[in-house]
Chains A and B, each alone.
Chain A
């Protein structure tokens, strides 16, 4: 099999007040289905190794996680090498149910932004209230970053992780670095 290559080959930007790193490849499975159906939830939990997330939240642990995307969609994250096995098991478990599970690992780019002022980087780009009381660790938010759709969450207090489409990876990398330019700190948070 050919080697997986991320969109920006692990580009890293350290010039600003935040470090922007393209991470990955990350294994990602999109699961759509009716989560009122216990069998679908059970299959998602088994495939992700995580508890089922509440509305607008995500649960992550090491390399694996599960995020709430919409009332009928979750995103399952896992190590890239395991994604085929996990997807196969998931599809076997869902064979008799109305649900859709797709491997979207190579369709996405993932960035990690690290800085004590990381909330400022997001607040400059997305229409999201980044106050510490409003956006807490464990929340997951789908929104836009400048002109492109993206989703992000905070695994730790000074880290955000952003998922976007692979085709806009360079744009995302550029706007994140631009928002983190040294001297552009607003100091609001």
Chain B
């Protein structure tokens, strides 16, 4: 069971008070985009073994959205951060790199 912290209301609770809602930081491809881009935006999701960023919803609490960085293999939760961002904040990246030295953020991968 995961212990999740909600940055909107400051509650730390176990996962049944929350709801996971899939991969975070998707780039939207809307009208005018190519069909391939649109398809990948709609359907293609990462399924990593290891570090993963997700959107979470504090369903039974304050009802707000936020992001969580966690490991899909060990179920370690690295931290949660605001929903109002399209990239993970440096503090979260530092925490992950501290725990997983070979991990490289997606935006830095060539």
Partners in one complex: yes
Q: A residues touching B (Cβ–Cβ < 8 Å)?
A: 55-56, 69-71, 73, 127-128, 141-144, 149
Given A55-B10, A56-B9, A70-B8, A142 contacting B61 (CB threshold 8 A): yes
- Could you tell me if B14 and A127 are in contact, using CB atoms closer than 8 angstroms? yes
Interface centre among A55, A142, A149 (most CB of B within 10 A): A142
Number of residues of chain B lying within 8 A (CB) of chain A: 14
The closest CB in chain B to the CB of A69 belongs to: B62
Q: B residues touching A (Cβ–Cβ < 8 Å)?
A: 8-11, 13-14, 16-17, 59-64
* CA A142 to CA B58, docked complex, whole Å: 10
Q: Which of B14, B16, B62 has a CB less than 8 Å from the CB of A142? A: B62
- Could you tell me if B11 and A149 are in contact, using CB atoms closer than 8 angstroms? no
Given A128-B13, A143-B13, A71 contacting B61 (CB threshold 8 A): no
Given A127-B16, A127-B17, A144-B16, A56 contacting B10 (CB threshold 8 A): yes
A79 to chain B, nearest CB (A): 27
Cβ-Cβ contact count across A and B, 8 Å cutoff: 36
A97 to chain B, nearest CB (A): 21
Given contacts A70-B61, A142-B61, A143-B61, 19 further A-B contacts (CB under 8 A): A55-B10, A56-B9, A56-B10, A70-B8, A70-B9, A70-B63, A71-B8, A71-B9, A73-B62, A127-B13, A127-B14, A127-B16, A128-B13, A142-B9, A142-B62, A143-B17, A144-B16, A144-B60, A149-B60
- 14 examples of A-B residue contacts, CB within 8 angstroms: A56-B11, A70-B62, A70-B63, A70-B64, A71-B62, A71-B64, A73-B62, A127-B17, A142-B60, A143-B17, A143-B60, A144-B60, A149-B59, A149-B60
The closest CB in chain B to the CB of A128 belongs to: B13
Chain B residues near A141: list those with CB within 8 A. 11
B62 to chain A, nearest CB (A): 4
* CA A69 to CA B60, docked complex, whole Å: 11
* CA A98 to CA B90, docked complex, whole Å: 34
- Could you tell me if A144 and B9 are in contact, using CB atoms closer than 8 angstroms? no
Q: Is the interface of B mostly helix, strand, loop or mixed?
A: loop
Chain A residues near B64: list those with CB within 8 A. 70-71
* CA A56 to CA B11, docked complex, whole Å: 8
B41 to chain A, nearest CB (A): 29
* CA A127 to CA B59, docked complex, whole Å: 13
The closest CB in chain B to the CB of A144 belongs to: B60
Q: Which of A55, A127, A128 has a CB less than 8 Å from the CB of B9? A: A55
Chain A residues near B16: list those with CB within 8 A. 127, 144
B97 to chain A, nearest CB (A): 30
Chain B residues near A128: list those with CB within 8 A. 13
Chain A residues near B8: list those with CB within 8 A. 70-71
* CA A141 to CA B10, docked complex, whole Å: 11
Chain A residues near B61: list those with CB within 8 A. 70, 142-143
